[in-house]
Amino acid sequence: MIEPFLIRATIAGIGVAIIAGAIGCFVVWRKMAYFGDSLAHSALLGVALGLVLGISTNLGTIIICTLFTILLIWLQQKQILATDTLLGILAHSALSIGMVTLSLLEKSVDLHSYLFGDILAVTTSEIYLIISGSLIVLVFLYHNWSSFVLTTINEKLAKAEGLNILINQLLIMFLMTIVVAVSFRIVGLLLITSLLIIPAATARQLSHSPETMAVLASFLGIIAVILGIYSSLYFDTPSGPSIVVSAVIIFIAISSASFLIKKIR
Amino acid sequence: MSLLIEAKDIYVKRQGKNILENVFIQINKKDFITIIGPNGAGKSMLLECLMGTFSPDSGIINKKNNLSIGYIPQNFNPDNSMPITVKRFLMLKKNFNINNLKKVSGETKISTILEKNLADLSGGELQKVLLARSLLSDPELLILDEPAQNLDIKNQLNFYNLLNNVYKSRAISILMVSHDLHMVMASTKQVICLYHHVCCSGEPQTVAKDPEFVNLFGNDMAKMMSVYQHTHDHVHSENLND
């Protein structure tokens, strides 16, 4: 008999892995890893906001991450500072304000579970949230796939063919916001970027089209999540880092295998 | 002559400076127009205004109804992080149809590289693929922004030959920004010299003698231009003022 908490963890993990894999491809293609990291850092302020206002921490995260994205794009247009400098300022100020706010709260907060995730403690209502978040992301991805891919390949070409670059860019960032908001309970704020990047980077080596890369990244993410959950139970290790370690092992195995195959040929 | 597109009194201002001022340009059916001018002269901006992807601060742009424009951007460097074949890349075009792909890939000689990864293509192959992509929608006007910029001389020749063939067989209009003066002289019918405003325009020979042209590019360039009109078998430095 499988424990209910394990079933919940597995469902939550699969839901998150699917969207993280697909969105992660855009993170890799568009070189947005640092943006993902910054978004995740700022999510801690969202958690604090959620606790202060007494709303759900996921909702707080979505609000803060959306504001973060809008602020970033606005500052980017001003062209005063380089994007990575802006990201660094925004991310670390949000993280620090979040930490300070959390420490001022009377309630005791399990900071560790926010930073590194606790997939085994996922509740049923969080699962509903993950599933609905995933569905939103998948629907948007499906409907805008060609525009997203073309915008990613070349913005001028996309613009000349009538696509709105800013809206496409905002949509991709907004989808990343949803991924961060629904998945920080799984792998934690500090490790979300790895769930976005590692499966996508692994899938890159096995694919010949953007579509297969996205599907494969989701699939590899699912394997990493399941391996992580069960190894975390078996070895009694923290679940979030265990998932990332599994993803890294898959990455190394596939990278070395494809390197060897290329050499032999 | 039937008019495809016309821009009048175009002004674009950036940080108090006029990028484009009082620009007038007219493109008719079967025109082959090349825009030359120093870096930062507003050439790409003018193309964007004509395509409608950028609205000028003032001015009028009149287009023929349902004018279909094909476009080849400057500096197209696909990144290897995305795996995508040439064919899939071409299929991303709106209203794609497979018969058109067959026709166009024969026309631009890319049939053998359709299954190749886009990021693995050589510069010459890449430009042919972009040309093929722009032809997929059967455009009446082709707009090219320094299409042969990063090609070596042999590939430049190949590309301009291909472009010339397309121009002749399809009887379309071409508007191109180019620094490759030797190629421009050989194929283009009309040269527009742009430096924020239209300095001079007309047939290549006329433009080369224009005092404004001499003023902008120097006497040496003007001499070189007149050399190019007679002999195309040797290579000069193509650098303009930059």
Q: Is B121 part of the contact surface with chain A (CB cutoff 8 Å)?
A: no
Residue % of chain A over a pLDDT of 90: 66
Instruction: Indicate the angle between helix axes A124-153 and A4-29, nearest 10 degrees.
Output: 20
Cα–Cα nearest to B10, from B72, B73, B54 = B54
Chain A contact set for B45 (CB, 8 A): none
Q: Do B84 and A153 touch (CB under 8 A)?
A: yes
Q: Specify if B13 maps to a domain.
A: yes
DSSP symbols for A5-61 = HHHHHHHHHHHHHHHHHHHHHHHHHTT-HHHHHHHHHHHHHHHHHHHHHTS-HHHHH
Q: Do B89 and A153 touch (CB under 8 A)?
A: yes
Contacts of A85 (CB under 8 A, 6+ apart): none
Flag whether pLDDT at B7 surpasses 70.
Answer: yes
Q: Identify the pLDDT of residue A41.
A: 92
Q: Is B117 part of the contact surface with chain A (CB cutoff 8 Å)?
A: yes
Chain A contact set for B88 (CB, 8 A): 209-210
Residue % of chain B over a pLDDT of 70: 90
Q: Identify the pLDDT of residue B208.
A: 74
Q: Specify if B109 maps to a domain.
A: no
Q: Least CA distance to B81: which residue of chain A?
A: A29
Q: Give the HSE-up count for residue B143: Cα atoms under 13 Å, Cβ half-sphere.
A: 25
**Mean pLDDT over residues A204-208, rounded?**
94
Distance from the Cα of residue A189 to its chain's centroid? 9
CATH of the domain at B37: 3.40.50.300
Residue % of chain A over a pLDDT of 70: 100
| pLDDT tens figures, A106-126 | 777 788 888 888 888 888 988
Q: Specify if B46 maps to a domain.
A: yes
Locate tokens 């040929």: which residue?
A: A265
Please, which residues bridge with residue B11 across strands?
B58
Q: Is B114 part of the contact surface with chain A (CB cutoff 8 Å)?
A: no
Structure-token pair, residue A231: 């190894």
Per-residue b or e along B175-209, where b marks 16 or more CB atoms closer than 10 Å to that residue's CB: bbbbbbbbbbbbbbebbbbbbbbbbbbeebeebbe
**Mean pLDDT over residues A153-167, rounded?**
92
Q: Predicted confidence band at A14 (pLDDT cuts at 50, 70, 90)? A: very high
Residue B88: which of A25, A204, A209 has the nearest Cβ?
A209
Q: Identify the pLDDT of residue B1.
A: 60
Q: Do B82 and A149 touch (CB under 8 A)?
A: yes
Q: Identify the pLDDT of residue B224.
A: 66
Number of H helices, E strands in chain A: 11, 0
Q: Is A227 part of the contact surface with chain B (CB cutoff 8 Å)?
A: no
Q: Identify the pLDDT of residue B242.
A: 40
User: At A126, which amino acid appears?
Assistant: E
Residue B73: which of A29, A154, A207 has the nearest Cβ?
A154
Alpha-carbon distance of B162 to B158, in angstroms, equals: 6
Number of H helices, E strands in chain B: 8, 9
Q: Specify if B216 maps to a domain.
A: yes
Residues spanned by the domain of B58: 3-78+139-230
Q: Do A208 and B117 touch (CB under 8 A)?
A: yes
Provide the shortest C-alpha distance from residue A250 to chain B (in Å): 19
Q: Predicted confidence band at B236 (pLDDT cuts at 50, 70, 90)? A: very low
Q: What share of chain B is helix, strand, coil (3-state, %, to 5)?
A: 40, 25, 35
Q: Identify the pLDDT of residue A168.
A: 94
Cα–Cα nearest to A72, from A160, A174, A162 = A174
Structural domains of chain A, ranges and CATH numbers in brackets: 4-264 (1.10.3470.10)
Q: Least CA distance to A201: which residue of chain B?
A: B81
Q: Which of A151, A161, A196, A197 to mutate to test the interface with B (most CBs of B within 10 A)?
A: A161
The lowest-confidence range among A53-57, B33-37, B154-158, B231-235 is B231-235
Q: What is the mean pLDDT of chain A?
A: 91
Q: Least CA distance to A147: which residue of chain B?
A: B92
Chain B contact set for A205 (CB, 8 A): none
**Mean pLDDT over residues A146-162, rounded?**
93
Q: Identify the pLDDT of residue B143.
A: 95
Q: How many domains does chain B have?
A: 1
Contact status, residue A91 vs residue A42, Cβ threshold 8 Å: yes
Distance from the Cα of residue A135 to its chain's centroid? 15
Q: Which of B43, B66, B72, B81 to mutate to test the interface with A (most CBs of A within 10 A)?
A: B81
Flag whether pLDDT at B234 surpasses 70.
Answer: no
Instruction: List C-alpha distances in Å: B57 to A11, B21, B39, B51.
Output: 54, 10, 21, 15
The segment with the largest mean pLDDT, out of A36-50, A73-87, A204-218, B12-26, is A204-218
Q: Identify the pLDDT of residue A118.
A: 85
Contacts of A79 (CB under 8 A, 6+ apart): none
Q: Specify if B157 maps to a domain.
A: yes
Q: Specify if B236 maps to a domain.
A: no
Q: Specify if B53 maps to a domain.
A: yes
Flag whether pLDDT at B241 surpasses 50.
Answer: no
Q: What is the mean pLDDT of chain B?
A: 85
Contact status, residue A210 vs residue A151, Cβ threshold 8 Å: no
Provide the shortest C-alpha distance from residue B80 to chain A (in Å): 8
Q: Specify if B54 maps to a domain.
A: yes
| pLDDT tens figures, B152-185 | 888 988 999 999 999 999 999 999 998 777 777 6
Q: Do A213 and B82 touch (CB under 8 A)?
A: yes
Q: Is B85 part of the contact surface with chain A (CB cutoff 8 Å)?
A: yes
